Amino acid sequence: MLQEQLEIVLSYARNLWSKRWWLAGIAWLVCSIGWIGVYNLPDEYDVSARVYVDTRSLLKPLLRGLTVQGDSDQQIRLMERTLFSRPNLEKIVRMADLDLTVSDDSGFDELIKEVKSSISMRKDSKDNLYTIHYSDPDPEKAKRLVQAVLTTFVENTIGEAKGDTVKAQRFIDKQIEEYEQRLKVSENELKAFKQKNVAFLSESGGFYSRLKNEVGRLESSKLELAEAEQKRNTLLKEIEGEEPVFIPELHEQEEPVTQYDARIENLTAQLDSLLLKYTDKHPNIVSIKRTLADLESKRELEISESKAGAVSPETAFTGSNYYQQLKLNLSQLEASISSLQVRVTNYQQRVDTLRGQVNTVPEVEAQLKSLNRDYDIVKKKHSELLVRREQAVLSQQADQSSSEIKFRVIDPPRVPLQATGPNRALFASIVLVVGLAAGTGLTFIAGLIMPTFNSAFMLTQATGLQLLGTVSLVQNDVRTFERKKQLVYFLSLIALLLFVYVVQIGIFLK
């Protein structure tokens, strides 16, 4: 089996060698055409630019918490992905004046596609270092295009940040205006409600808390009144048990002392204290004034009777010191009891009034709480929006003074003095390989199409007949010389082909 395969391979090799001139001719034809095409390829000029994007601003840590800070890295990545979108490509083509080379829309579309497929931008490392690259036979065109891409990348990135700030500020201003209107409406509703229900509202606590406080004050006042009355009764008993000593007056007093003086003095002091807290229409003040007027009239009557010479033990004679002290304490207790009675009456009226409003006031207070809650929510949002607007203004001012994103052009685009492409040496090598492969392949196919039997084994395989014998060709000197000469010609032809290739490589690599 192995012998048969070897015979087949040797037969194909002999057949290929027998048609070696076909191989050389096809190789020369393909290489000549290919090398002429490679030599006539237009020169390519590579133009590139490198730019470093610095997102580490010194103001960022200083303004943290004071301004609204966006994600600069994310913004750069987004701009990198959208740089070669259709609107940006149109802008780049127009900036580079490439649109002047086309006259219709279809040509402009083809130009956009060509630019998009030829231009590239890559990130060199983990740092924000970008390289923009473009190749074109026209070096000036390549430089303009790379510069246009670089300008678009910088302007769009910075303009996008500033545009977002302006849009955010406009939105916040609009929201502030809306919340100001809502705040005014809430304030007017709250004011109208308070004016309408002023009689049911109190500044301290809720309804039940007020009612509880008033009941507590009423009970406390009743207790104080009961204590004062008990003291008065005890004092009256002591006065009844004390025997006064009557001593004639030695001289007439300029201003007689009456039993109402102490009470009048005490009530006057209480009136002065109440006037500091309440108006003249307060129930306690009205009651004390009425009591004072009554006591003043009684005092005047007693003084007039004393001056008329009426006989009175209290005015004609002076009792003992202890007796007089008891009388003075009694007068003070009477005044205190009158004041406490007025207080109890006033607190009782308040409690009765609140108990009469037990169904109305809680509903009013619930409505007031609802209005206050709505007002507080609107006011809180309005205050937050004001703070946000100040942050937006400060952010815009910070961007104007020092942008968070800075672009540093490391290598600006330049017009190359020498062509950087195409790689003619590589293309010439490819043409040589393709030419030899084409010659070999076509020669092999020709051998299959027009076979020659160069061995008994192949003849037997082809015909299926038994081969009786073979006649060998005797090589003489003339035939041997002819074969060697053809071999030299063939090898010279292949060597010349390789020599031409080497010369071209030398020219292309200069």
Distance CA 109, CA 267 (A): 104
| Bridge partner residues of 136 (DSSP) | 45
> How confident is residue 216, by pLDDT bands cut at 50, 70 and 90?
confident
Is omega for the bond preceding 422 within 30 degrees of 0, making it cis?
Answer: yes
Half-sphere exposure of 128 (CA within 13 A, CB side): 18
The single-letter code of the amino acid at 322 is: Y
Q: What is the rounded average pLDDT of the residues 361-381? A: 80
pLDDT at 506 over 90: no
Assigned token pair, 149: 């891409």
The per-residue pLDDT for range 409-447, each reduced to its tens digit, is 888 888 877 777 788 889 999 999 999 999 888 888 877
Sign of CA dihedral 471, 472, 477, 482: positive
- For residues 242 and 332, give the distance between their C-alpha atoms in angstroms, rounded to a whole number: 19
Q: What are phi and psi of 135, to 5 degrees?
A: -120, 140
Helix, coil or strand: residue 64: strand
Long-range Cβ contacts of 481-485 (<8 Å, 24+ apart): none
Most confident of 255-259, 340-344, 453-457: 340-344
Instruction: Give 148-166 pLDDT, tens digit per residue.
Output: 888 888 877 765 555 556 6
Contact 66, 392 (CB under 8 A): no
The encoded tokens of residue 318 equal 């002076």
pLDDT over 80 at 293, yes or no: yes
Give the per-residue pLDDT at 496: 93
What torsion, rounded to 10 degrees, do the Cα atoms 310, 315, 318, 321 define?
150
User: Cβ distance 442 to 26 under 8 Å?
Assistant: yes
- The per-residue pLDDT for 255 is 57
Report the pLDDT value the prediction gives residue 324, as an integer from 0 to 100.
74
**Is 83:146 a contact under the CB 8 Å cutoff?**
no
- CA-CA-CA-CA torsion sign (442, 448, 450, 455): positive
**Pairwise CA distance, residues 455 & 472, whole Å:** 11
pLDDT value for 203:
52
| pLDDT score at 485 | 87
Measured distance CA(27)–CA(43) in Å, rounded? 27
**Which span out of 9-23, 349-363, 450-464, 493-507 was modeled with the highest average pLDDT?**
493-507
**CA-CA distance, 61 to 67, in Å (whole number)?**
10
Structure tokens, 129: 């270092």
What pLDDT is recorded for position 67? 47
Q: Among residues 415, 256, 284, which one has the least CA distance to residue 342? A: 284
Tens digit of pLDDT for each residue in 45-58?
A: 888 888 887 765 54
Residue 62: pLDDT above 70? no
DSSP state of 409: E
**Residue carrying the six token digits 């074109």:** 136
Are residues 51 and 132 in contact, defined by beta-carbon separation less than 8 angstroms? yes
Q: What is the pLDDT at residue 202?
A: 57
232 or 81, which is more confident: 232
Give the chain's mean pLDDT. 76
Q: What is the pLDDT of residues 236-288, one digit of tens each?
A: 877 776 545 444 444 444 556 677 777 787 778 777 777 777 777 777 787 88
Work out the number of other CB atoms within 10 angstroms of the CB of residue 199. Answer: 10
φ and ψ at residue 206, rounded to 5 degrees: -90, -175
Residue showing tokens 């199409």: 449
**Is a pLDDT exceeding 90 seen at residue 97?**
no
- At 170-208, the pLDDT tens digits run 778 888 888 888 888 888 887 887 777 765 665 555 566
Lowest mean pLDDT among 29-38, 80-89, 174-183, 233-242: 233-242
DSSP states of 186-198 as a string? HHHHHHHHHHHTG
pLDDT of residue 316: 40
**Cβ(325)–Cβ(242) below 8 Å:** no
* Angstrom distance (rounded) from CA 451 to CA 16: 10
Domains and CATH numbers, the chain: 2-41+422-508 (no CATH), 45-175+400-411 (3.30.1890.10), 207-374 (no CATH)
Residue 264's closest CA among 233, 239, 300?
A: 300
Q: What is the pLDDT of residue 58?
A: 41
